[in-house]
Amino acid sequence: MTTWILEDQVFADRHRALAEAVERAGGAVISWNDDWWATGAWPATAGPVVFHGSLGNADRIAS
């Protein structure tokens, strides 16, 4: 199962449709939370993870 982490504030107009498509395909959806940077309380995930959000957060995640 693939987990998608969606930063819904960035693509608010398309977020719900994408989340529904992921769920129909059997994937899991987690809403992004900027507090994770400060708290380190990252969500537990299984399998591959796809991030869909801002380029700034994508760069920090990749780094």
Taking only the tens place, the pLDDT of each residue in 9-49 is: 888 888 999 999 999 999 999 999 999 999 999 999 989 99
CB 4 within 8 A of CB 52: yes
pLDDT band for 59, please (50, 70, 90 cuts): very high
Three-class HEC string of 1-63: CCEEEECCCCCHHHHHHHHHHHHHCCCEEEECCCHHHHHCCCCCCCCCEEEECCHHHHHHHHC
pLDDT of res. 41:
96
pLDDT of res. 17:
95
At residue 3, does pLDDT exceed 90?
Answer: yes
What ranges do the domains of the chain cover? Answer: 3-62
